Each structure stands twice: as structure tokens, then as C-alpha cells.
Structure 1
């Protein structure tokens, strides 16, 4: 078993403070699961179980699954440290103006759109080069805004903070990610767009989900959804924002293993998607029939209902309306279900397709495909799988 496995990390974090049984008892999982993970009999477990183990060990799940990344660069104004510096500016305490020059609203809008395009394409390394200056420029723009430009300038800054938070999540930087999304929320509150404010609250719920705070995630998402509940002839964007929030609540319920609640919320989201009729992108968020299917698969995989996950995956529309990174993640979820039902070749095919769709940048920062490949290597060591394993950094 290599030293990058989850089992090795669990044993290292457990140290002499806890026995395997004590860890299992504190986490609320079986001692057999802890033992198999540490001995290499299992390479991964459900995300809910891993969150419980991480909490019992008092570590972030990013440390447990080895997802925390830095982006080494020769430019001190780029990378994770530069983003952190941009998020924690003290210009106001020093009575100084932001380092960057203010940009026009049009130029700021183009920068924000470019950043979100890079995010949905899974280009996280590119984002670490553009986010530090993008944040400081838009902060300067907000500082210089007057009268009618104050609200739109804050909305642009909110969207840039938002994409920063989302990027940091994928790089395993959960603390600065949460700082970024709270700053996005604060900036949006100085704008005039209630749908933007609601969808950013949905992203707060997503970050809580990533942290394993499932009940809080569900409550935040559903409270935001209740403020948008359709009461008449609402716009498509309004329906999309509402449906996306309900779907976020369903995902959180699924991770908390409250399957009935999750399925009920999925049904509600599905009705909204049917009312809209197509996949939409509004406020940097995708919602529609494809997204409902994707999250239905996710809920079933996270609750280890693998046959149900595969049945749901068959409902994916032919003209799938998801961005690259979401399509790749859906394929990875499907690969888990194939692997756990003993259909190993189909699992590998799904992972290879995920690599093709998501691209190398996306695959580089995903832990789920590596865990599935580790499982597959226990059953198949032929050349195609071994070559793929080496390509994504799994020792065979």
C-alpha cells in the first residue's frame, strides 16, 4: 500500500491517541471499515463515512483524502498564497487604496465571465494566475464606484469572490474558500439582484456540504429556496435558481443518509426542471433535467444505493446540458456505481470518458477517480488500466 493512501493517512492521524475501535466508535462507523482502510483491503469509502472519520480525527477531509494542493509558480503574484493575500487585504486598515487600478464595469464583466468560463472547463491552475489581480482590480472598482455604478460594481466583485471560493474548494483549500464565499455574499448584499444573492447562498450551502456540515447545508439551501418559492408566472431564471437550491438541499440530505428526504426534494426539483423544460445556465449555476439526473446519481452513490444510481444514470438526456467539469464528475460517480456492482470494465470505460471530457487539468485535482482506479486494480491489472492508473498518479 503506498504512502498516499487514505489508510496510511488514517493510521498516521490516529497515531497512539486512538485505537481502531475507539476511532470507529467516535466516528460512528464499523471497526471493520477502519481496519480494511488501514490494511489496504479497501481504498475508499462513502463520502459520508470519510467525513465522519475526518471529524473524529479532528482533521479536514482534504487532509484525509490528500486533496489539498498548492500551485508552485515563479510569479509571487500568482498561486494559492497570492489568492489568500488578495482575500485578506488590510488596505482599509492602513488607509490605503487597493494596489490595482479600478477597471470599467464592462472590463470587469469580461474578467468575471472569463474566470467562470475557466472554472467550468476545470482549468484551476489558470484560475490561480488570474484571480489575485482580478479580485484586487474589482475591489478598486467598488472603492471608486459612485451613484448608479455602486450596485453593479459590487455584483461583479461578488461573482469574482464566488468563483474564487469555488476554485479553492477544488484545490482542497476549504478555509480560504469559505472566506471567499462569505465575502461574495457580503458584496452581493450591496447589489440589487435577489437571484444573485440567493444563488450565492446556495454556494455557501455547497461549501458546507464539502465540509461535512450536512444539516447546516440543507437548512441554508432550503431557507434560500423558500424565499424564491414560485407563486405565479415566474421567469425561467427565477425557476432555475429555485430548483437549483432545492437540488442542493437534496444533495445535503443524501450525504446525511436521509434518503427519504433526499428523494422527496429530488422529486420537487424534477418537477421544476420539467416546468422549465430545458437545461439552463443562470447566475453561474446550471439547472434543468440533466442536473437533476446528475444529482440523483450522486445521492444514490453517496448512500451506497448503486443499482438505483445506475438506473438513474440511464435517464440522462441525450443532449446533456452540463459543463465539462460536471459531465466528468457525473461519469466518475457512475464509475463508482459500476465498480461497486462488479462491472469493472464499464467502470474503467466511464473513467476514461471522464478523463476525455474533463481534460487533464480537471482530472489532476480529482480524488474520486484515483480511488476507483485503486479498487479496480484489485480485480484487473491489464495494460489499459495500469496505463490509466500511472497517468493519474495511482501506484499499481
Structure 2
């Protein structure tokens, strides 16, 4: 049975806090707590949910019901296997590390396949291949003197961290991204290391550490601030870091700073002129629109979010998962402005683009479906709910 946020709030609150005490500690209205617990509301803004999670002393993944395992008959796959691969103890046991099975060329193919699966939203496939992939890339880096081997290891740790975030596993995800940065700094590509700092900022955002997220992103951006002629990759990396800072400011409810940073990122995107994909990171006009919508959603500016969403370029250069995420964000804004039929259409399009495996691991889409079910019990919505595991 898919428990609501309200049920989980009530369970975590227990007898330690009254509804009013929880609301006071979280800095939200007692009416919001009451409506969530009574089922009058199925969700709230991410900022409010983060405040409630902090007051309850739980991870937001637990509050949202996002922490997932991926059961399998293969003991070498799944979350537990990934954790083991991330935290080896062979050095403590005095064991000789395994030799690199395929060298740098094979390692590159493994990393590219993993990222392809990630951008296609195939998280269950990733949990089966990441444990062996981490071991393979670590062995390759140990056996090779090439900086490229360290950079490939960084990219493998990075895709592992990103996958774990989507499965609600924030602690091992942070272990993975810090390992990615350490490997990148042993390489010879400062733009890769800077991009990884942006990914650390994203993980801090997911954890509700908004000020730290903004500061990490903008500190990295300042180190790359363009002066004179720079490469498009440099511009895109800088713009992406600024946009990450904008997203964090939006989650912190600093609308003015967030929109100012979005404007700066937009200037960079217009200077580049096209959507780019560098270092597994997408930046350009499409990404600016997508994150602008996110900022407005975070600040509960739903009408403004829909206005910005209309600016999405026809020839959108975003990957499947990002396009599905944008459609989900649009669905939230439509639902909150009472446009429920259009919200359902946007969710169905998100499922078509991202696939049901992607959609069922997205708490925002699941809670939007729950919200729509309060007003619509017809077959298309109920069928979508069943496909992504929402109790009807």
C-alpha cells in the first residue's frame, strides 16, 4: 500500500510532538500539517517538506517514501551490492587488487553505457551493472598511469551517485560523488572537476542543505568566470554552475536572488546559442527554461512557471530524463492552478518520454497523481497510478 505523506508525518511525529509543535518547529502553518495528516492535501512545496523533515529529524527521502531497494535474484546487483562496491576493504585485508579486466578503452565503453542508461531513466538496469562497473573502473585506474583512467573512474562514481539519488539513497550517493571528485582531481581536466562540484551542489540541494548547495555551486562558478575568449565547454560549465546556484536559491525561497542568477545563466545560454552536452551535463536555452520553471515552482509561483514553460524551444536539446522532468514540473503547476486534465496529459507525456521505470521513482510525479486522484477517479488516471505504484 502506498502511504501518503500525511501518514508518514503522523508516524514520525508520534507522541513526541503535537501538530502545532511540529508546525512551529518547522516554520510552517499548523493548517498545512493538519491537512496533510488528514488527507486534505497530498503534498506541499519542496521547501515546506524539507522544513517538516528537518523538524522530524528524518531524511526527506523517508518523508516522501522515496527510499527504494531494487530486489533481484542476482546477489551481485542492487543497492546493497552498490554500497559494497563503493566501500571496499581489500586494502585492510591485505588482498591484492584485481587486475584491470579490459584497459582504458573497455572502461570508456562501460562508462558510456552506464550514462546512456541513466539518461534513459533505466535505474533498474543501472543497479545491476554499477557494482561490477565500479570494480572494473577502480581496477583500471589502479593499473594505468593515464589521467584518463582516473577521469573515467570519476565518471563511473558520478553516475552511481546520480542513480542513488533517484532511488532515495542520499548517503551512499554522497559517498559516490565525493569519490568522483577525488578521482577527477587526480586526473587532468579542471572542467570535469568543476562540473562535479556542481553535482555535489545538486546532492546538497536534494538533502535540503540549500545555503551550502548555493555556496558550493557559486564558488565553483566564480573560479570559472569567463574573461575574454573561452571555449564553449567552459561557458557551458560556468552557466550550469550559475543555474545550479539559482535552483538552490529558489529552494531557499530567495526569489530575487534566484531570478537574478537565472538571468545571468540565460545571458550565457544566449551567448552559446544552442543546447550543449558537456561532461554529462546539459546547458543551453532549454536547460535555462527547465530550471526557471523549477525556481518558480519552489517559490509556489505556479502561473509564472507555466508562462516560462511556454518558452521551451521546439527543438529541445534535453535528454529523455530531463524532458520528462520538465513535463512533470509543468504537470505540478497545472494541477496547482486547477487545470487537472492538462496536468494528466503532461504526466502521460512524461511517462511516454521517460518511461514508467523513470516515472515510478519520481516522488513529485507520484504525489501529483495522488493529488489528482482526489478529483478524478476515471480509468486513464487510475491506470497511470497503478503503473507507477500509487495506491488507488
Identify whether the pair has TM-score above 0.5, normalized to the shorter chain.
yes
Write the mapping of 1:105-120 to structure 2, written as runs, cut at 5 A.
105-120=104-119
Contact 1:37 1:43 in 2 (8 A): yes
Once the 2 structures are TM-superposed, how far is the Cα of residue 101 of structure 1 from its aligned partner?
3.6
Contact 2:292 2:308 in 1 (8 A): yes
Match of 1:43 in 2: 42
Match of 1:16 in 2: 15
Residue in structure 2 matching 1:289, options 263, 266, 285: 285
Displacement over 6 Å in runs of 4+: none
SS in structure 1 of the partner of residue 224 of structure 2: coil
SS in structure 2 of the partner of residue 319 of structure 1: coil
Match of 1:202 in 2: 198
CA distance in 1 between counterparts of 2:115 and 2:122 reads: 10
Q: What's the CA shift string for 1:39-68, capped at 9, x where partnerless? A: 000000000110110011011111101000
TM-score by length of 1: 0.97
In structure 1, runs of 5+ residues without a counterpart are: none
Once the 2 structures are TM-superposed, how far is the Cα of residue 80 of structure 1 from its aligned partner?
0.6
Match of 2:347 in 1: 351
Match of 1:227 in 2: 223
SS in structure 2 of the partner of residue 286 of structure 1: strand
Bigger Cα displacement from structure 2, 128-137 vs 98-107: 98-107
CA distance in 2 between counterparts of 1:95 and 1:387 reads: 54
Residue 211 in structure 1 maps to residue 207 in structure 2: yes
Contact 1:100 1:133 in 2 (8 A): no
Match of 1:239 in 2: 235
Q: What's the CA shift string for 1:175-212, capped at 9, x where partnerless? A: 00000000001101100000000000000000000000
When residues 136 and 3 of structure 1 are mapped into structure 2, their CA distance, relative to the original with a 3 A threshold, is closer
Write the mapping of 1:230-309 to structure 2, written as runs, cut at 5 A.
230-309=226-305
Once the 2 structures are TM-superposed, how far is the Cα of residue 100 of structure 1 from its aligned partner?
6.2
CA RMSD of aligned residues (A): 1.0
Once the 2 structures are TM-superposed, how far is the Cα of residue 375 of structure 1 from its aligned partner?
1.3
Match of 1:65 in 2: 64
CA distance in 2 between counterparts of 1:351 and 1:322 reads: 17
Contact 1:100 1:136 in 2 (8 A): no
CA distance in 2 between counterparts of 1:348 and 1:110 reads: 38
Write the mapping of 1:138-153 to structure 2, written as runs, cut at 5 A.
138-146=137-145, 149=146, 151-153=147-149
Once the 2 structures are TM-superposed, how far is the Cα of residue 254 of structure 1 from its aligned partner?
0.2
CA distance in 1 between counterparts of 2:386 and 2:138 reads: 43
When residues 369 and 253 of structure 1 are mapped into structure 2, their CA distance, relative to the original with a 3 A threshold, is same
SS in structure 2 of the partner of residue 281 of structure 1: strand
Bigger Cα displacement from structure 2, 91-100 vs 271-280: 91-100
SS in structure 2 of the partner of residue 195 of structure 1: helix
Contact 1:221 1:248 in 2 (8 A): yes
Residue 364 in structure 1 maps to residue 360 in structure 2: yes
